[in-house]
């Protein structure tokens, strides 16, 4: 072959290789009802995904959420709804018509349903009609949802389980970190990958104080009442700082007074500033995640990435992802929760382990792996 042709052939091969490793961006639609003004893990995940999509161009990303009125701007689609829970800004959509119309206009390759309550059967049928694959993302078990409702959980859990099975019957895949057989009647085929913002990293310059820190929604299913009981029974009168908002706030203040914890406890509102939150994690003696129904536990991952020891229930997948920085306790055992907090308070910071956690769970790594899984599903 003449040298000139060899050069051209080599260039063509490089172009073919470039196209092979840089396919067309996958069009992804995330549908999320529980995307409140001050909500936690779901909003954190979706906002990070939107930033990743803009920065890398790896996916053509769209978020479909309830809003005060219909508005489509870039990849964000707010659909008509009513505000019902002022504490966290959650909204209830006015049916599924606008959602299905938006999906038809977008024609995504894959639709991720982040909860089972926005007319999932109709939405899955709509997605199928336009040729999209569907994924049910399992953020909350029936036991978690039941624990959030007033009254006995044993009454609500079977009803929620039946609803989950019906809503997830026809999706193409289930994404979760926990066993989904009880709720969906089928196993998860994709892991729910979660990551940490770059602000969450070891901070040896931040003085470590003596308080125990809780960050999250103030609601029954999060185990915050159990945390107050553990504080009251502890022989060591450690200070407790609670950061967050939710329907249980006044109940927690009343219970704290009743337990004689007023001098030891302080409340701070939810804050979305990641640098400020990282400073709060790093300054705590330990962070506690007392809920026994967590399907992951992003707070534990964020705190550990800052080097802070974490006390969390053994049932939370995050406690197994943070190595020696995690101090587990048995579900439904206040004495063991007290022991785990004492163990976490006595533990030293581990900046090397923290740096590894922060690197391993960087959002770019998380979304690269998720996109690969979604491409495999789309085929």
pLDDT by residue (tens digit) across 334-346?
A: 899 999 999 999 9
289 and 235 assigned to the same domain: yes
Of 341, 45, 355, 307, nearest to 213 by C-alpha is 341
175 and 55 assigned to the same domain: yes
Q: Is there a domain that residue 8 lies in?
A: no
Q: What span, in angstroms and rounded, lies between the C-alpha atoms of 349 and 235? A: 23
Q: Which two tokens stand for residue 116?
A: 């089972």
The conformation of residue 85, written as its DSSP 8-state character, comes to E
Pairing of strands 71-73, 76-85: antiparallel
Q: Is there a domain that residue 229 lies in?
A: yes
Q: Is there a domain that residue 1 lies in?
A: no
Q: Which two tokens stand for residue 263?
A: 């001098």
Mean pLDDT, range 198-216, rounded to an integer: 95
32 and 138 assigned to the same domain: yes
Mean pLDDT, range 164-174, rounded to an integer: 89
Q: Which domain holds residue 301?
A: 212-360
Domains: count for the chain: 2
Higher pLDDT, 160 or 97: 97
Q: Is there a domain that residue 227 lies in?
A: yes
Taking the model in full, what pTM does it have? Answer: 0.85
119 and 168 assigned to the same domain: yes
For 279-297, give the DSSP string: HHHHHSSEEEE--S--SS-
What band does 21 get if pLDDT is binned at 50, 70 and 90? low
Mean predicted lDDT score pLDDT of the chain: 89
pLDDT by residue (tens digit) across 134-151?
A: 999 988 777 777 777 777
152 and 298 assigned to the same domain: no
Higher pLDDT, 333 or 3: 333
For 310-334, give the DSSP string: EEEETTSGGGGTSGGGEEEE-TT-H
CATH code, domain carrying 162: 3.40.50.2000
Q: Is there a domain that residue 71 lies in?
A: yes
What band does 60 get if pLDDT is binned at 50, 70 and 90? very high
In percent, the amount of the chain with pLDDT more than 70 equals 92
What band does 88 get if pLDDT is binned at 50, 70 and 90? low
Q: Highest mean pLDDT range out of 25-29, 167-171, 271-275?
A: 25-29
372 and 348 assigned to the same domain: no
Q: Is there a domain that residue 344 lies in?
A: yes
């Amino acid at each position: 072959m003449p040298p000139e042709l060899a050069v051209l052939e080599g260039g063509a091969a490089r172009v073919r290789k470039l196209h092979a490793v840089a396919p067309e961006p996958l069009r992804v639609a995330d549908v999320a009802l529980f995307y409140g003004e001050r909500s936690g893990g779901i909003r954190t995940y979706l906002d990070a995904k939107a930033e990743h999509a803009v920065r890398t161009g790896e996916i053509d990303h769209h978020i479909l959420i309830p809003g005060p009125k219909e508005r489509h701007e870039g990849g964000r689609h707010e659909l008509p709804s009513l505000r019902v829970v002022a504490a966290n800004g959650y909204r209830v959509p006015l049916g599924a018509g606008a959602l299905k119309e938006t999906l038809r206009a977008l024609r995504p390759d894959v639709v991720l349903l982040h909860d089972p309550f926005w007319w999932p059967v109709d939405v899955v049928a709509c997605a199928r009609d336009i040729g999209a694959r569907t994924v049910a993302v399992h953020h909350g078990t029936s036991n978690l949802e039941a624990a959030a409702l007033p009254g006995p959980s044993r009454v609500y859990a079977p009803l929620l389980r039946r609803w989950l099975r019906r809503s997830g019957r026809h999706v193409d895949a289930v994404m979760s970190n926990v066993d989904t057989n009880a709720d969906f009647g089928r196993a998860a085929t994709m892991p729910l990958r979660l990551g940490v913002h770059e602000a969450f990293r070891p901070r040896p310059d931040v003085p470590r104080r003596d308080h125990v820190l809780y960050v999250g929604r103030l609601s029954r299913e999060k185990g915050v009442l159990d945390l107050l009981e553990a504080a009251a029974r502890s022989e060591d009168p450690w200070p407790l700082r609670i950061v967050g908002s939710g329907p249980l706030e006044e109940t927690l203040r009343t219970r704290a007074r009743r337990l004689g914890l007023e001098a030891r406890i302080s409340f701070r509102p939810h804050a979305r500033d990641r640098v400020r939150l990282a400073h709060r994690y790093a300054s705590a003696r330990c962070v506690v995640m007392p809920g026994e129904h967590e399907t992951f536990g992003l707070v534990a991952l964020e705190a550990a990435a800052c080097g802070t020891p974490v006390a969390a229930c053994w049932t939370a997948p995050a406690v197994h992802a943070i190595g020696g920085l995690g101090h587990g306790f048995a579900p439904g055992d206040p004495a063991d929760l007290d022991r785990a907090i004492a163990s976490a308070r006595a533990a030293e910071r581990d900046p090397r382990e923290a740096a590894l956690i922060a690197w391993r769970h960087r959002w770019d790594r998380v979304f690269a792996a998720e996109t690969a899984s979604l491409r495999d599903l789309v085929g």
